[in-house]
Every structure is written in C-alpha cells, then in structure tokens.
Amino acid sequence: MGLFGRKEKPVTSGVKLSAILRERGYVHQHTDTLEEVVDQPRTLYWGVDPSADSMHVGQLMGIVTLRRFIDAGHNVIIIVGGGTGMVGDPGGKSEERNLLSDEVIRDNSAALRKQFTQLLAGERFVMINNADWLRKENLMEFLRDVGKHFTVNEMIKRDSVRPRIESREQSISFTEFSYMLLQAYDYLELFEHYGCTLQVGASDQWGNIVSGVDLIRRKKAGIAHAFCWPLLVNKTTGKKFGKSEGGAVWLDAKKTSPFEFYQFWFNTPDEEVEEYLCKMTLLSKKDIDAIMQEQRANPGSRVAQKKLAQELSMLAHGVGEPEAPVLTAADLKLRDIAHSLNLSTSELRRLVEQKGITLNGSPLSSIDDPLAPGTLKVGKQRFYTIR
C-alpha cells in the first residue's frame, strides 16, 4: 500500500490525461510514449528548492500540472529539498548562488509545506524532505555506490551545467556540479521505498531527471520515467517567468500584496493571455475558448485578463471570489494615486507628457487631471480599474 496507505486510484475520467496535457500545452519532453508515461496511475514526485520562504508565480504552472495528475488518479509526492537546497541547483543560474544556513533552509521548508497544504488542500499528496536521507548519507559510500554510475563526460553535456562551463565569465563549483548526483539519488530513494516511477518538472530539469532514470536502471534494473513541461519565459526579457519590475511575484500575500498579485496577471499582454489561461488555471478548455471569443470581440474589455487574475488570486490567496483591486475615483486627481502606481511625481509627469497615460482610451494632459470611472492605462502594459 506504501506511503499513501492505499493503491493508486484507477483512472476513471473519460478523457485521458495525455490528451489533456497536449491540449493545454504542458508537453515538452518525456520518456517512452506519453500515453505509457501518464495514462496509467503512478506515484510521481516533483521537487521544490527551499531557497525562499514562498513559491513564486513561475511555479504555478507546476502546481496546476500536479492537480491534473492528481485528478487523473496519480499519487503525488512533493520533495522539499532541505538536503539539495544546501548545495543549490546550477540550472538557470549564471553564477554561484549563496549557500543558505541550516536554520534558513529549515524555516523555508516549513513555510513551503504550509503553502502546498493550502494550494493542494483536500487533494491526495504527501510532502517529504530529502534531508531525511541525504544528511545521513556517508560520503565515501555515496561516491562508491552512486558516483561511479556517472561520467563527467555526460554530466558536462547537461543543460544545467554546460553554459557555466563554456562561458569565460562564469564558473561552476564542485558543490553545484554534484547537485545532479543528489537529485538522481532522491529518485532512487523514492523508487526503492515508495514505489515512485515518475519524476516531473520544468524543461530545465530534464537532464537532472533523466540522470535519476539512468541511476535506477543501472542500480536496480528498474523502469522509471520522466515528464517535463515547457519552461515559461518572459517573452520580452527571455528570462524565467515570474518576475515583475520590482522583482519576483510571490504567492505569499505578505511578500507580494493581493493588489500587486492581481495587477501582475491583469497586465498580461493580449498575445499571451490565452496561453496563461490554459497553463495556469483549471478552467475547462471550453470556458477558455468562450472567454477568448469575447475578448476578441471586444479587446478593450480585457475580460480574459480579468478572469486570469481572478482565478489565480483565488488559487493563491484562498477561497471565495476575490475583490478585484481597484482605485476609487472620489474627487481624486492623477497626482493623488502616484504611490499606488509605484511612480514618483516626476515619472508620472514624464509619462503624461509622452501621452503614456490614458483613461478610457483618451490621453491625460496633466497629473492634476481628475479621474473618472473606467480603465486607466499606464505605459504600454499596465492597466487599472477606476471606480
């Protein structure tokens, strides 16, 4: 019966998970055929790095993908990397990250555990900290039993390592270089003790995940699988999705206010909003198609952005219909809301002079212009509702 106290729940849905994953754009790479990997119930795991005390919006796609697997009858293990977090994954990093203390990692891991409990409330999942076995591992035995199954020739070809080796300005320490072995060992541990046969993650984790698949095959002659969804990137900067002008957009309301969180999604460009509705929400494809049809009929309504912001605000900040963040027009002038717009008076004046601030489509001529109910557009992609 294993970790979950029962066998995996048989898949009863009329629509196969493989079809849903393809339809929503979740498929990037996988071992074997997609149907073999995802259409039969398995125990799978996803790893989270405890480098912060909250997840950010770039990880929402992974959370929603887990929900898809759970709904299809899979059991889910979430690894909070209290052990691997002491080393740090080099993937996606241009330089050595600061190593965190035991205390910080412990506190961050506890915070992430609470966040997952909220985000996946009532669903079938368990959380494990890989420090439980990695901190007990003997170095000499680890090198003998695990390290011998890896060649440096193959390791330096992985996407998480190669850029750091090829660049003259960057380097990689042996500490980070060993991360791949530790993650592969996690997979082996879960395979042996919990019957886990699938690891999932974003596409930048593919090399680390298949290293675990290879280790299981070499040490246990076992069959294990990998599945990766495409890594979301900011189409303007080319960097990992999840950043705003002020830094990361966190799921914790204490780190990113509900107002800022809502505005981040409300400001999604028209050409990207359908993709985010498909990948970040649990809305049906039929509902998304209807929303996009309404959006195309009246682009100025921003109905798609509003729905996206609402759905994700509910997911991140609890149950109930969220109150859409608004600015109240009660004898206010543009100057009065400079702070709410995160702009200085001089920046506000410059935007007005460049006709970069419009109210219901009409440019404002002065920072002392009164506000009326409607949609305030600031710059190219920032929108606010004024009541």
Categorize the per-residue pLDDT at 41 as very low, low, confident or very high, splitting at 50, 70 and 90.
very high
Whether residue 309 lies inside any domain: the answer is: yes
C-alpha 292/C-alpha 25 separation (Å) is: 16
Q: What's the confidence (pLDDT) of residue 1?
A: 42
Q: Which of 19-28, 211-220, 243-252, 267-276 has the lowest mean pLDDT?
A: 243-252
Q: At CB < 8 A and 24+ separation, what contacts does 158-164 make? A: 158/207, 158/208, 158/211, 159/91, 159/204, 159/206, 159/207, 160/89, 160/90, 160/91, 160/92, 160/204, 160/205, 160/207, 160/208, 161/90, 161/207, 163/94, 164/90, 164/93, 164/94
Q: Give yes or no: residues 286 and 366 share one domain.
A: no
Whether residue 177 lies inside any domain: the answer is: yes
Categorize the per-residue pLDDT at 331 as very low, low, confident or very high, splitting at 50, 70 and 90.
low
Q: Give yes or no: residues 51 and 153 share one domain.
A: yes
Q: Give yes or no: residues 162 and 181 share one domain.
A: yes
Q: What's the confidence (pLDDT) of residue 89?
A: 65
pLDDT of 319 above 50: no
Q: Assign residue 302 the CATH number of its domain.
A: 1.10.240.10
Q: Give yes or no: residues 313 and 190 share one domain.
A: no
Calculate what percentage of the chain has a pLDDT beyond 90: 35
Q: Give yes or no: residues 88 and 141 share one domain.
A: yes
Q: Assign residue 357 the CATH number of its domain.
A: 3.10.290.10
Range 117-131 average pLDDT? 81
The CA-based dihedral angle spanning residues 312, 316, 320, 322, taken in that order and rounded to the nearest 10 degrees: -60
pLDDT of 295 above 60: yes
Q: Which of 71-85, 181-195, 318-332 has the lowest mean pLDDT?
A: 318-332
Q: What's the confidence (pLDDT) of residue 286?
A: 93
| Position with higher pLDDT, 229 vs 375 | 229
pLDDT of 383 above 90: no
Give me the number of domains the chain comprises. Answer: 3
Q: Give yes or no: residues 298 and 344 share one domain.
A: no
Whether residue 162 lies inside any domain: the answer is: yes
Range 57-85 average pLDDT? 90
Range 217-238 average pLDDT? 88
Range 25-42 average pLDDT? 95
Whether residue 240 lies inside any domain: the answer is: no
pLDDT of 111 above 80: yes
| Position with higher pLDDT, 187 vs 117 | 187
Size of the chain, expressed as the number of residues it contains = 387
Categorize the per-residue pLDDT at 320 as very low, low, confident or very high, splitting at 50, 70 and 90.
very low
Residue with tokens 């909220």: 118
Q: Give yes or no: residues 268 and 218 share one domain.
A: no
Classify 49 as helix, strand or coil.
coil
C-alpha 228/C-alpha 219 separation (Å) is: 23
Q: Give yes or no: residues 152 and 196 share one domain.
A: yes
Kindly state the DSSP code that residue 130 receives in the 8-state scheme. Answer: T
Mean pLDDT is highest, among 254-263, 291-300, 315-324, 339-348, for 291-300
| Position with higher pLDDT, 331 vs 379 | 379
Whether residue 190 lies inside any domain: the answer is: yes
| Position with higher pLDDT, 106 vs 185 | 185
Range 212-240 average pLDDT? 88
Residue 35: name the closest of 10, 18, 20, 22 by CA.
18
pLDDT tens digit sequence for 341-353: 778 888 888 998 9
Whether residue 11 lies inside any domain: the answer is: yes
Whether residue 242 lies inside any domain: the answer is: no
Range 248-270 average pLDDT? 86
Q: Give yes or no: residues 136 and 41 share one domain.
A: yes
Average pLDDT, the chain: 83
Q: What's the confidence (pLDDT) of residue 123?
A: 72
Q: Give yes or no: residues 174 and 152 share one domain.
A: yes
Whether residue 250 lies inside any domain: the answer is: no
C-alpha 147/C-alpha 136 separation (Å) is: 17
Q: What's the confidence (pLDDT) of residue 342?
A: 74
Q: Assign residue 99 the CATH number of its domain.
A: 3.40.50.620
Range of the domain at 290: 260-317
pLDDT of 161 above 80: no
The CA-based dihedral angle spanning residues 251, 194, 228, 284, taken in that order and rounded to the nearest 10 degrees: -60
Domain stops at, among 193, 218, 233:
233
pLDDT of 96 above 60: no
Residue with tokens 């048989």: 10
Classify 88 as helix, strand or coil.
coil
Q: Give yes or no: residues 356 and 311 share one domain.
A: no
Residue 2 to residues 43, 44, 53, 117, Cα–Cα distance (Å): 10, 13, 30, 21
Q: Give yes or no: residues 271 and 340 share one domain.
A: no
pLDDT of 93 above 80: no
| Position with higher pLDDT, 157 vs 230 | 230
